[in-house]
Amino acid sequence: MVNFWLVAEGTDLTLIDTGLPRHWDQLCAGLEAIGRSVSDIAAVLITHAHADHLGLASRVQEASGASVWIHRADTELAAQPLKARTYARPQRPLLPYLLRHPAGLAAAAHMLRLGAAKTPPVTAPRHFTDAEQLDVPGRLIAVHVPGHTPGSTAFLLPCGTAAFTGDALVTHDKVAGHLGPCLICLAFTHDGDAAVQSLRHLASFSAEAVLPGHGEPCHDGLARTAQAAVEYGIH
């Protein structure tokens, strides 16, 4: 339901998104399974400052000394993640979606159980500019894709093997009841028109795999996957 990803370069790691506060044990177990530990994380890249992507950022930073990177436009949201509707107000209310798709209630309850309402703030993060290649393990390239939030960003591996798309492009929206490439519904999206335009922008890049914030990885290529999401639209 919630994805976060690791990129390894030598002995150092970059963590892309951080899940929710109670994902800590899962993160540590995953690292142990590949012979690593939290102390190997040198950088944390946040695709956008919603609680389910920001949850462990401060804790990882405290444990490893990692730098935390986020787009400047999401700085205030990261500092007050429990006030998302103040800094990135969604276009539509949530209740109608939950009435149409009751399974969305289970998703919301799951997020709360994992600590969504207790997400620590991130203050004084490092910032990047659009198209910047970051000085982090993996040398990822930041692509600003506003819409879901003002600072929403995708990160591309320079070798073209993968794109980490956060919620700018997902493959499962449980609240809206859609499985397949899409945008997160307007109950969680700040600017739907900008989000669609960002999908078209993403489609101009090459990447073999799409690794989203929610849903399974997609291996149809970034351009084809983004185009499929454009055709589905936003609901």
Which residues constitute the domain of residue 106?
5-232
pLDDT of 85 strictly over 90: no
Kindly state the average pLDDT of the residues 49-60.
98
| Mutual angle of helices 192-202 and 222-232, in 10-degree steps | 150
Lowest-confidence segment of 82-91, 134-143, 214-223 by average pLDDT? 82-91
Residues 6+ apart with CB under 8 A from 193: 147
Segment (H or E) for 12: strand 12-16
Kindly state the average pLDDT of the residues 59-72.
98
Kindly state the average pLDDT of the residues 135-145.
98
Kindly state the average pLDDT of the residues 134-138.
98
Lowest-confidence segment of 45-54, 92-101, 113-122 by average pLDDT? 92-101
* Proportion of the chain above pLDDT 90, given as a percent: 94
- CA distance linking residue 81 with residue 209, whole number of Å: 29
pLDDT of residue 5: 98
pLDDT of residue 43: 98
pLDDT of residue 103: 87
pLDDT of residue 14: 98
CATH of the domain at 129: 3.60.15.10
pTM of the model: 0.97
Q: What is the CA radius of gyration of the chain?
A: 16
Domain count, the chain: 1
Segment (H or E) for 141: strand 141-144
